[in-house]
Amino acid sequence: MTVSVPGNILIAGEYLVLEEGGPGVALALEPRVYARAQPASTWSVEAVMGRKPLSDGRPAPRWTPGHAEELPLVEAVFQAAAALWREAGIAPQPQATVLDSSAFFDIDGRKAGFGSSAATALALALTLGKAAGLDANQLRAFALKAALLGHRNAQGGRGSGYDIYASAHGGIGLFSGGAEPRWQALPNLTLPPALLFAGPAPVASSRAVKRFSEWRAGLSTSRASPQKLLERSRHSALALAKARDSGEILRALAEARLAGIALGDALGVPALIDTPPALAQAAGRKPLLVKASGAGDELGMAFFDGQSVAAEGYKELKATGGPLWLS
């Protein structure tokens, strides 16, 4: 069996999605992780990551029960799935699985910042649910729970889950964080045309989330008020979700940008990101607004006027559908 799962991106609601009921607007986008599984005598998972083969001849990272060192995320998702199997009294046939997330890396091995770990967790959870013989409704619920718990555990229990839910549902939607997250599809929200670009350097999400948790608990040296900054972020995320015309959407995005910058400054994880001169040149015009996505300045979104925008070497921000079973 083969399933593909899209990546994901957070448009508004940085850090806020970690709060109970904290809203954030997110969407699913290409590329996809592919999970290919077939019956086997024992469980195993091999991970294909990056666009270049390992130069020293080493094999791809591999997981088997009791050997989690190379792929801790796989171990976390498998343990979450195994707990759900035990609750349901299910004993699936073992599978040999290959997880291919190579499309999420550039030629130099840098991640694109499109939520590959969440998409990978969901792809694996879907194959594990399918191996258990679950029907369509059971499978979706099982995969969401196993992927969410596994992904959170792999991140030290701090993950919001917006990335799992965006990849699972597809399209664009309003995510509400917490122990039991929620997703509301936003089919009428049409974002301005936008291009995505890499920021100055990768940002460790776990480090940024740790700083947020310390700041939220009053353990940071920052004097910024968590309540005021988070309320500002909440207002902009909800305004974007409710926006119905281009003017409202741009105003909400502009406010979300400022809220994200203020939060980044308070945490010491800068979220002010500039447009690369080459992007404006390639697009043939300057963007109306540029905003960072997620924690820090790892990934930027440049929003333009007009009906569409394209530039060689830059990815268009465009929503896509959810998981697809190919076999």
* CATH code, domain carrying 285: 3.30.70.890
In a domain, 182, yes or no: yes
Structure tokens at 174: 């309003």
Amino acid 40 reads A
Distance of CA 176 to the CA centre of its chain: 14
Say yes or no: 136 and 246 in one domain: no
Within the chain, strands assigned E span 2-12, 23-39, 44-48, 62-63, 95-100, 172-176, 182-185, 194-198, 289-292, 299-303, 315-316, 324-325
Contact 185, 173 (CB under 8 A): yes
In a domain, 293, yes or no: yes
> pLDDT of the chain along its 327 residues, tens only?
999 999 999 999 999 999 999 999 999 999 999 999 999 999 999 999 875 544 445 678 999 998 989 999 999 999 999 999 999 999 999 999 999 999 998 877 778 889 999 999 999 999 999 999 999 999 999 999 999 999 999 988 888 999 999 999 999 999 999 999 999 999 999 999 999 999 988 888 888 888 999 999 888 888 888 999 999 999 999 999 999 999 999 999 999 999 999 999 999 999 999 989 999 999 999 999 999 998 899 999 999 998 899 999 899 999 999 999 999
**Domain around 248:** 194-316
In a domain, 168, yes or no: yes
In a domain, 19, yes or no: yes
In a domain, 134, yes or no: yes
Q: Give the separation between CA 63 and CA 297, rounded to whole angstroms.
A: 32
* Number of domains forming the structure of the chain: 2
Say yes or no: 48 and 85 in one domain: yes
Q: Where residue 164 sits, what CATH number does that domain have?
A: 3.30.230.10
In a domain, 23, yes or no: yes
pLDDT digits (tens, 9 = 90+) for 190-248: 999 999 999 988 888 888 888 999 999 888 888 888 999 999 999 999 999 999 999 99
In a domain, 40, yes or no: yes
168: phi then psi, degrees, rounded to nearest 5: -75, -35
Q: Give the separation between CA 275 and CA 295, rounded to whole angstroms.
A: 17
Say yes or no: 155 and 29 in one domain: yes
How many Cβ atoms sit within 10 Å of the Cβ of residue 130? Answer: 19
- Residue where a domain terminates, one of 135, 155, 186: 186
- Residue where a domain terminates, one of 160, 186, 212: 186
Say yes or no: 168 and 277 in one domain: no
Say yes or no: 287 and 155 in one domain: no
Say yes or no: 259 and 209 in one domain: yes
Q: Give the separation between CA 261 and CA 14, rounded to whole angstroms.
A: 10
Amino acid 25 reads V
In a domain, 325, yes or no: no
Contact 295, 209 (CB under 8 A): yes
- Residue where a domain terminates, one of 141, 168, 186: 186
Say yes or no: 203 and 303 in one domain: yes
Cβ neighbours of residue 11 closer than 8 Å, sequence gap 6 or more = 24, 25, 26, 27, 172, 191, 240, 253, 256, 293, 301
Say yes or no: 181 and 205 in one domain: no
Say yes or no: 159 and 307 in one domain: no
Say yes or no: 139 and 209 in one domain: no
Say yes or no: 181 and 200 in one domain: no
Say yes or no: 177 and 210 in one domain: no
Q: Which pTM value belongs to this model?
A: 0.95
pLDDT digits (tens, 9 = 90+) for 285-298: 999 999 999 889 99
